[in-house]
Chain A
Amino acid sequence: MAELRFPPVRLPAEARAVREKVRAFLRDELEAGRFTPDVDSWGRFDPEFSRRAGRAGFIGMTWPKAYGGGEYSALSRFVVACEMLAAGAPCGAHWIADRQSGPQILRHGSELARRTLLPRIAAGECYFAIGMSEPNSGSDLASVRTRARREGDAWVIEGSKIWTSRAHQVHYLIALTRTGDPGPDRHQGLTQFIVDLKAPGVIIRPIHNLAGGHEFNEVFFDRVRVGDEWRIGEVGEGWRMVTGELAFERSGPDRFLSDYRLLTALIDHLGVEPGAEEVGAEEARAVGRLVAHLGALLSMSQAVAGLLAAGENPAVEAALVKDVGTRFEREIPEVARRFFSGPVRSGGADYFERALGRVMLHAPSYTLRGGTREILRGIIARGLGLR
């Protein structure tokens, strides 16, 4: 059977130094009142914060300096991502571009795309959305129908994408399109393109989520022209591009720290003032279990960051981080509500109650976005050698 690898990694001196730097940055931000720690850190869109993070060198950290990067190791980037989420900082504006679109452009984009986009992403000024899902293609991503047809030295895109997070607020998306025959495994004939969301023919319609928020959208392409320089990878290589991208998308700390601030709020909610009565055993056990799970996840995710840093493609291990990580994220509100009396209501002053309410409403999305739990488990099973 295939071997799963989570080799323990030690943080190199560089990553430890970067950690001190990002902690100092976050401390300054907090002290100046420039952000309020909250749950759903990487879902909160705050361009001002992203620009300051970019200026401080915390976006595009691993990219070459020529493209605005800092030439740091993947472990340093991992540390920064962890610290941002743990602080509950609003890093949603730049998150997707930093996590996956930028790296994708760096590795498979044209020189023009690299030169024009990467420095702006690293500066925290240019944001991306993911254009994979379509109305009839969710888990079965290879069935996408949005077409790109060659016309001279450009491509014309026709079709639509759905659930496109932040499409109404960001500058570009990377669209997975059909450019040729699917072939017997249906993975042929797909190509990715960078699409400017301001381009003629792009129409964005809001879709409100169950909590009433406007985060995702439907995006229509009505004969949208895209120059060939905005293609990612070779024509027909889109499937390989997407799967490579997903290892970055799935293994990071954002797959177990989405509601970290609810855990810290729970601890403060249960914690006692010095001299007061001791915390009950049930409370201690409930918190201790979550902390043990978090400790394990931190090591798992750091191990995958180490593998990515070494240039490997740990797709199965990444799927495991996301499956175990999102299961953990969904448990936090279920544990927290045991220690809150009555239903959670709007309009309260207590942060714990607000965070709990927000997380309860968002928790269903954790095990859907980025590939559903069921799809991940199929990937894991195949990786384990189930034939």
Chain B
Amino acid sequence: MAAMAETGSVLLDEAGRLFGDLFASAEARLAAERGEWPEAAWRRLEEQGFTLALVPEAKGGAGLRPAEVWPLLRLAGHYALPLPFAETVIAAALWARAGGEVPAGPLTLAPALPGETLRLDAAGRLSGRAHAVPWAGQAYIVASVTDARGKPVLALLPPQKEAGARRTLGGDPAPDLVLDGATPEALRPASASLSLPHGWLALGAHMRAEQLVGGMARALAYAIEHANTRVQFGRPIGKFQAVQHMIAEAAGELAAATAACDRAAPFFDEEEGVLDAAIAKARASEAAGKVAEVAHQVLGAMGFTREHPLHFTTRRLWSWRDEFGGEHHWHEMIGRRALAAGGEALWRLLADRPEGVMDEAGEAR
């Protein structure tokens, strides 16, 4: 169940092999979590062209469509890469599509939480706070900022080396970004969807939703493997109905989260995609807690150790579900939209998909 992705795709097979290979040892992962930048692993990702998957070919990227690239992020979540891979794919695509020159090395996105604003003054200086910005100390930052006229603009900032050492439960860096009159390296106009109230955050949310789905599939695979091999009372614990039902319930959560992400797959930063991205993140964030709970329950004490690799996945599930808005944030946004539309309009809100984009997704399969 390679992250429940469509297997058979050459690109995904190749990516799966590489992702599995990059951090084959737990020691390499732990070193990354202690703060050593995994340069060799990063280089390999870059050399294979995966980081620029969504960047147009004319700009030196692979020029893939969104529906082809989201599964790649799902796969990165499956392998719990301790690298800003997903962030780079999204930030590079945004910056390139806005007409910017994509800098070499990792990239990230700011702000990463609801309700935070960075402001650009008339003299072009940037101020404000953004909390828990993934990899802000190591990566170039593509930031959504509000200019002096109140319009959204994209700004490029170099890595903030002095940003601090705070890390998520997953062990990945996420320092606060505190800007007080910083000068961006470049500015580009933001697309229409990024100017929507939830547009910016929805993009990061969609990214984390895909990673959550990949991570949940991994956690469930650990649980199934353990249930089939751990023997108690003379038989594999997977023979016990209580264990079977826990796993089946988790599989339902994963299936729903997967389907929610698949809905959003045709979109990148189009306006029509914002609601679907919100649904994807809301569903995946909610499912992640349940799936992690079940995986740990099934693995018993072994799953609670540093030796068993489950924690590399579940610690990230516990963090990703709250990054770029947790389910409560997105539930409120979706609910307000549904309430404003009224009961009768709900059906079309969910059932009517924009045909043009769906055609693209259809082709991509």
Using CB atoms and an 8 Å cutoff, list the residues of chain A in contact with chain B.
1, 3-4, 6-8, 10-11, 16, 82, 86, 263-268, 270-272, 279, 281, 283-289, 291-300, 303, 317, 320, 323-324, 327, 374, 376-378, 380-381, 384-387
Contacts of B245 in A (CB 8 A): 374, 377-378, 381
* Chain B 238-282 residues near chain A, CB threshold 8 A: 238-239, 241, 243-245, 247-249, 251-253, 255-260, 262-263, 265, 276, 278-279, 282
User: B57 near A: Cβ within 8 Å?
Assistant: no
Report the separation of the CA atoms of residues A45 and B206 in the bound assembly, to the nearest whole angstrom. 43
Report the separation of the CA atoms of residues A266 and B342 in the bound assembly, to the nearest whole angstrom. 10
Question: Which of A1, A263, A286 lies in contact with B224, CB distance below 8 A?
Answer: A1
**A279 touching B248 by the CB < 8 A rule?**
no
Most chain A C-beta atoms within 10 Å of own C-beta, residue among B244, B335, B347: B335
**B346 touching A8 by the CB < 8 A rule?**
no
Report the separation of the CA atoms of residues A269 and B241 in the bound assembly, to the nearest whole angstrom. 41
27 A-B residue pairings within 8 Å (CB atoms): A4-B1, A11-B358, A263-B346, A264-B346, A268-B343, A279-B336, A281-B332, A284-B332, A284-B335, A287-B338, A288-B331, A288-B332, A288-B337, A289-B335, A291-B335, A295-B350, A299-B263, A324-B255, A376-B248, A378-B241, A384-B220, A384-B224, A384-B251, A386-B238, A386-B239, A386-B244, A387-B238
**B339 touching A271 by the CB < 8 A rule?**
yes
**A296 touching B256 by the CB < 8 A rule?**
yes
**A285 touching B252 by the CB < 8 A rule?**
no
**A284 touching B244 by the CB < 8 A rule?**
no
**A292 touching B332 by the CB < 8 A rule?**
no
Closest 10 CB pairs between A and B? Answer: A288-B335, A264-B343, A284-B335, A288-B334, A288-B331, A381-B244, A377-B248, A299-B259, A10-B362, A380-B248
Contacts of B349 in A (CB 8 A): 291
**B7 touching A8 by the CB < 8 A rule?**
no
Question: Which of B4, B249, B330, B365 lies in contact with A288, CB distance below 8 A?
Answer: B330
* Chain B 318-341 residues near chain A, CB threshold 8 A: 327-328, 330-340
Report the separation of the CA atoms of residues A386 and B221 in the bound assembly, to the nearest whole angstrom. 11
**A387 touching B258 by the CB < 8 A rule?**
no
Given contacts A4-B251, A281-B332, A296-B256, contact A291 B346 (CB under 8 A): yes
Q: How far is the CB of A302 from chain B (nearest CB, A)?
A: 8
**A323 touching B252 by the CB < 8 A rule?**
yes
Per-residue contact bits, chain B 343-362, to A (CB 8 Å; 1 contact, 0 not): 11011011101010011011
Q: How far is the CB of A17 from chain B (nearest CB, A)?
A: 12
**B276 touching A295 by the CB < 8 A rule?**
yes
User: B48 near A: Cβ within 8 Å?
Assistant: no
Contacts of B278 in A (CB 8 A): 292
Q: How far is the CB of B299 from chain A (nearest CB, A)?
A: 14
Chain B, interface size category, equals: 35 or more
Contacts of A294 in B (CB 8 A): 350
Closest to B235 in A: A387
Report the separation of the CA atoms of residues A384 and B1 in the bound assembly, to the nearest whole angstrom. 10
Q: How far is the CB of B126 from chain A (nearest CB, A)?
A: 31
Closest to B341 in A: A267
**A295 touching B279 by the CB < 8 A rule?**
yes
**A3 touching B251 by the CB < 8 A rule?**
no
Contacts of B351 in A (CB 8 A): 82, 86, 298
Question: Which of A1, A267, A287, A299 lies in contact with B260, CB distance below 8 A?
Answer: A299
Report the separation of the CA atoms of residues A4 and B346 in the bound assembly, to the nearest whole angstrom. 29
**B259 touching A303 by the CB < 8 A rule?**
yes
**B252 touching A378 by the CB < 8 A rule?**
no
Contacts of B257 in A (CB 8 A): 296
Question: Which of A285, A298, A323, A327 lies in contact with B350, CB distance below 8 A?
Answer: A298
Question: Which of A1, A285, A299 lies in contact with B331, CB distance below 8 A?
Answer: A285
Given contacts A283-B335, A378-B245, A386-B244, could you give 18 more A-B pairs where the C-beta distance is less than 8 Å?
A1-B221, A3-B1, A267-B338, A267-B339, A267-B342, A270-B339, A271-B340, A271-B343, A279-B335, A285-B328, A294-B350, A299-B260, A300-B256, A377-B249, A378-B241, A380-B252, A381-B245, A384-B224
Contacts of B101 in A (CB 8 A): none
**B283 touching A295 by the CB < 8 A rule?**
yes
Contacts of B350 in A (CB 8 A): 291, 294-295, 298
**B236 touching A387 by the CB < 8 A rule?**
yes
Per-residue contact bits, chain B 72-107, to A (CB 8 Å; 1 contact, 0 not): 000000000000000000000000000000000000
Contacts of B262 in A (CB 8 A): 6, 8, 299, 303
Contacts of A272 in B (CB 8 A): 339
**A300 touching B255 by the CB < 8 A rule?**
yes
Q: How far is the CB of A278 from chain B (nearest CB, A)?
A: 8
